[in-house]
Amino acid sequence: MVDNYAGNATKFSIPTKGPSGVVIRQSDLYQLEGSLNGKTGVFEWIVDQGQVTHR
């Protein structure tokens, strides 16, 4: 269902660090307010190199 509204999400750029702790690239964090089973909250997911790595 969230997929239907993904275009309405707010996009943030976040640093992605490598094993040495140095920033190696930027990833995108998306956040979208919503509700599930009557509970309100924020849906969020991270896209790194074109792949969803967290949701």
Q: Could you read off the pLDDT of 7-51 as tens digits, one per residue? A: 899 999 999 999 999 999 999 999 999 998 999 999 999 999 999
- As for how many domains the chain has, the answer is 1
Rounded CA separation 42/25 (Å): 25
Rounded CA separation 20/30 (Å): 26
Q: Which residues pair with 10 in a beta bridge?
A: 31
Question: Range of 24's domain?
Answer: 2-54
Alpha helices in 1-55 (DSSP H): none
In this predicted structure, the answer to whether residue 3 has a pLDDT above a threshold of 90 is no
Q: In the block, which residue shows the tokens 């269902």?
A: 1
